[in-house]
Amino acid sequence: MVIKTLAVALSSVLLAGCVTVGPDYKAPVEAPVTLQGAAAPVYSTESPVATWWAQFDDPVLEQLVHAALADNLDLRVSISRVQQARAVFVERRLDQAPHVTAGGSYDRRKQPDALAGGERVFSESYQLGFDAGWELDLFGRQRRAAEAARADLDAEWANLADAQVLVAAEVARNYFELRGTQKRIAVAEQTLGNLRDTQKLTETRWELGAGSELDVQSSRARLKAIEADIPLLEVAQTQSRHRLAVLLGQRPESLDGLLAPREVPAFAKELPLGDTRELLRQRADVRAAERRLAAASARVGVATADLFPRLSLTGFVGFLGGDANGLVNSNNKAWSLTPSLSWAAFDFGTVRARLKATKAEADGVAAQYEQAVLLALEDTENSLTRYAKQQARLAIVAEQAEAARRAESLAQIRYREGSEDFLTLLDAQRTQLSADDALAAAEAEVNVSVVAVYKALGGWGQAAQPTVALAN
Looking at residue 420, which CATH number applies to its domain?
1.20.1600.10
pLDDT tier at 461, thresholds 50, 70, 90: low
- Does some domain include residue 7? no
Instruction: Give me the pLDDT at residue 297, please.
Output: 96
Both 192 and 90 in one domain: the answer is yes
- Does some domain include residue 283? yes
Task: Kindly tell me the sign of the dihedral angle through the C-alpha atoms of 436, 441, 447, 449.
Answer: negative
- Does some domain include residue 466? no
Both 382 and 314 in one domain: the answer is no
| Domain total of the chain | 2
- Does some domain include residue 127? yes
Q: What is the pLDDT of residues 364-377, one digit of tens each?
A: 999 999 999 999 99
- Does some domain include residue 464? no
Instruction: Give me the pLDDT at residue 449, please.
Output: 95
Both 323 and 436 in one domain: the answer is no
Q: Of 24-28, 201-205, 237-241, 307-311, which range is least confident?
A: 201-205
Instruction: Give me the pLDDT at residue 390, please.
Output: 94
Q: What is the mean pLDDT of residues 166-183?
A: 96
Q: Of 168-177, 210-219, 329-338, which range is least confident?
A: 210-219
- Does some domain include residue 2? no
Domain boundary among 323, 342, 361: 342
| Type of residue at 186 | A
Helices 284-305 and 141-207: crossing angle in degrees, nearest 10, is 150
Q: Please state, as a whole number, how many other Cβ atoms lie within 10 Å of the Cβ of residue 353.
A: 11
The whole-chain average pLDDT of the chain stands at: 86
How many Å apart are CA 445 and CA 398, to the nearest integer?
A: 13
- Does some domain include residue 4? no
Instruction: Give me the pLDDT at residue 1, please.
Output: 43
Both 211 and 245 in one domain: the answer is yes
Per-position b or e across 421-437, b if 16+ CB within 10 A of its CB: ebeebbebbbbbbebbb
The number of helices, as runs of H, and strands, as runs of E, in the chain is 10, 6
Instruction: Give me the pLDDT at residue 111, please.
Output: 78
Q: What is the mean pLDDT of residues 74-78?
A: 95
Q: What angle do CA 462, 465, 470 make, to 5 degrees?
A: 125
Instruction: Give me the pLDDT at residue 15, please.
Output: 42
Both 315 and 451 in one domain: the answer is no
Least Cα distance to 155 among 76, 247, 68, 89 occurs for 89
Query: Is the pLDDT confidence value at 12 over 70?
Result: no
Q: What is the pLDDT of residues 273-307, one digit of tens each?
A: 888 888 888 899 999 999 999 999 999 999 999 99
pLDDT tier at 330, thresholds 50, 70, 90: confident
Query: Is the pLDDT confidence value at 418 over 80?
Result: no
pLDDT tier at 470, thresholds 50, 70, 90: low
Output the domain CATH number for residue 121.
2.20.200.10
Residue 335's domain comprises 99-136+309-342
Both 127 and 273 in one domain: the answer is no
pLDDT tier at 7, thresholds 50, 70, 90: very low
Instruction: Give me the pLDDT at residue 71, please.
Output: 93
Both 299 and 405 in one domain: the answer is yes
Q: What is the pLDDT of residues 77-127, one digit of tens each?
A: 999 999 999 999 999 999 888 888 898 888 888 777 766 666 777 778 888
| Type of residue at 33 | V
Both 124 and 212 in one domain: the answer is no
> Which tops the pLDDT comparison, 138 or 109?
138
pLDDT tier at 68, thresholds 50, 70, 90: very high
Query: Is the pLDDT confidence value at 452 over 90?
Result: yes
Rg (CA), the chain: 37
| CB contact set of 256 (below 8 Å; sequence gap of 6+) | 241
- Does some domain include residue 5? no
Both 241 and 168 in one domain: the answer is yes
Instruction: Give me the pLDDT at residue 6, please.
Output: 42
Instruction: Give me the pLDDT at residue 117, please.
Output: 67
CA 208 to chain centre: 67
Both 319 and 204 in one domain: the answer is no
Task: Kindly tell me the sign of the dihedral angle through the C-alpha atoms of 379, 381, 382, 383.
Answer: positive
| Type of residue at 289 | A
Query: Is the pLDDT confidence value at 419 over 50?
Result: yes
Domain boundary among 288, 321, 342: 342
pLDDT tier at 13, thresholds 50, 70, 90: very low
Both 103 and 201 in one domain: the answer is no
How many Å apart are CA 200 and CA 460, to the nearest integer?
A: 56
Q: What is the pLDDT of residues 422-451, one digit of tens each?
A: 778 778 888 888 898 999 999 999 999 999
Query: Is the pLDDT confidence value at 10 over 50?
Result: no
Instruction: Give me the pLDDT at residue 394, please.
Output: 94
Q: Please state, as a whole number, how many other Cβ atoms lie within 10 Å of the Cβ of residue 29.
A: 5
pTM for the predicted model, two decimal places: 0.85
> Which tops the pLDDT comparison, 291 or 13?
291
Q: What is the mean pLDDT of residues 395-410?
A: 91
Instruction: Give me the pLDDT at residue 225, please.
Output: 84
Both 289 and 264 in one domain: the answer is yes
